[in-house]
Homo-oligomer: A and B are copies of this chain.
Amino acid sequence: MALDASPAFPRSIARTQALVRPALHEAVRTLHPWQAEIASYAFGWAGDEGGRTGSGGKGLRPALVVLCAQGVGVPAATAVPAAVAVELVHAFSLIHDDIIDGDERRRHRETVWKVYGVGPALLAGDGLLALAMRTLAMAPGSERATRHLSAALMEIVHGQTDDVLFEERAWTGGEAVSVEEYAGMAGGKSGALFACAAALGAVLGGVRPAVVDRLTEMGRHLGIALQIVDDLLGLWGEQEVMGKPVLSDLRRRKKTLPVVAALAAPGAPARRLAGLLDDAPREGGQEALRAAARLIEEAGGRGLAERQADERVEAALRIADEVLERSVAADLRAYAAYLVRRDR
């Protein structure tokens, strides 16, 4: 099923895809041919050994770049280099994350390192990051935009580093990761690129800082909402829809919001969950993981995470209504609804 064909797929995303994809292809063609090949696989343009091309991601971030730019009066064409840069950074970070996490599946296919090896995948990620910088730097009046993107990159790596370190921490006791720590990590790892995406087209268009700051805040809410939904799908999603194994976050001791919130809750389910997770060996069976997912829900972790995702979206939409032109604010409402669909 092509995602674009889904009725709930917002027209605004399809529209920006048509605008951004040619520029993205053009940028990728400037890479070393082997790097371009690996990038084409990563974007889902080239098939795997079975000839399966991929959805290539949903283009959520470039769509946000263009939408927000248009919403504050910047022409879409001005925002295109920003959209391409943001999508390239996203591709870079997925490729490197999959190496770091040892993940073998993404978007229903093998991950880049699994197909090409760790070294080439690492290098392909570096190439995409260099290309992102290059694309943005070559845009007219890019100084401010480059500052934004480089700051976002620092935050992304910071959040990623926390995410990796959190895996090593105990589920409970003094080492336990708090809901606040989770928010800081997700705000960097997932929030920073959305924050940057929401602002970057406007920055290229010379929009004043006060508005850019609001867009940044809006984007961060959306990025964190998306992360929370991914956390939820990682526990209660359907493998067929997700394209990667369910419950692997829990197996890898990822400190996702539902589990962090559940463990912080009072009551018997939280205590039973703590006992189960503390006792579970790292390679615990799927049945133990399913039991843990049930206890997370009983302890209220699922509900809290769902509420937080909704609150983030509402906060983002309040800002959208405040700063974006009315028709674009409506587009953003459809965009946000799609972003946090629980049946993705």
A residues near B, CB below 8 A? Answer: 30-32, 34-35, 96, 99-102, 118-120, 122-123, 126-127, 129-131, 133-134, 137-138, 141-143, 146-147, 149-151, 153-154, 156-158, 160-162, 164-165
Question: A126-B157, A138-B147 are known contacts. Are A119 and B99 too (CB-CB below 8 A)?
Answer: yes
Q: What residues on B are CB-neighbors of A35 within 8 Å?
A: 157-158, 161
A137 x B147 contact (CB < 8 A)? yes
Nearest B residue (CB) for A152:
B130
B120 x A157 contact (CB < 8 A)? no
Give A147 to B130 CA distance when docked, in angstroms: 11
Give A96 to B157 CA distance when docked, in angstroms: 15
A134 x B119 contact (CB < 8 A)? no
Partner of A157, one of B99, B127, B137, B141: B127
A153 x B165 contact (CB < 8 A)? no
A133 x B119 contact (CB < 8 A)? no
Q: In terms of DSSP, what is the predominant structure of the interface of chain A?
A: helix
| This chain: copies in complex | 2
Distance in angstroms from A101 CB to nearest chain B CB is 8
Nearest B residue (CB) for A119:
B100
Q: What residues on B are CB-neighbors of A122 within 8 Å?
A: 96, 99-100, 122
Q: What residues on B are CB-neighbors of A149 within 8 Å?
A: 133
9 interchain pairs (CB within 8 A)? A30-B154, A96-B123, A99-B119, A100-B122, A123-B160, A129-B129, A133-B146, A137-B147, A137-B150
Q: What residues on B are CB-neighbors of A30 within 8 Å?
A: 154
Q: What residues on B are CB-neighbors of A160 within 8 Å?
A: 123, 126
Q: What residues on B are CB-neighbors of A120 within 8 Å?
A: 164
Give A118 to B138 CA distance when docked, in angstroms: 33
Distance in angstroms from A133 CB to nearest chain B CB is 4
8 further interface pairs, Cβ-Cβ under 8 Å (given A102-B119, A122-B122, A129-B129): A96-B123, A99-B118, A126-B160, A127-B157, A133-B150, A134-B150, A138-B147, A142-B143
Residue of A35, A156, A157, A162 with most chain B CB atoms under a 10 A cut-off: A157
B157 x A123 contact (CB < 8 A)? yes
Distance in angstroms from A95 CB to nearest chain B CB is 10
Q: What residues on B are CB-neighbors of A123 within 8 Å?
A: 96, 100, 157, 160-161, 164
Nearest B residue (CB) for A159:
B32
Nearest B residue (CB) for A167:
B119
Nearest B residue (CB) for A135:
B150
Give A100 to B122 CA distance when docked, in angstroms: 8
Distance in angstroms from A161 CB to nearest chain B CB is 4
Give A123 to B167 CA distance when docked, in angstroms: 15
Give A134 to B142 CA distance when docked, in angstroms: 13
Distance in angstroms from A153 CB to nearest chain B CB is 4
Distance in angstroms from A103 CB to nearest chain B CB is 11
Distance in angstroms from A184 CB to nearest chain B CB is 11
Distance in angstroms from A227 CB to nearest chain B CB is 18
**Top 4 closest A-B pairs, CB basis?**
A130-B153, A100-B119, A134-B150, A133-B150
B142 x A146 contact (CB < 8 A)? yes
Q: What residues on B are CB-neighbors of A99 within 8 Å?
A: 118-119, 122
Give A133 to B151 CA distance when docked, in angstroms: 9
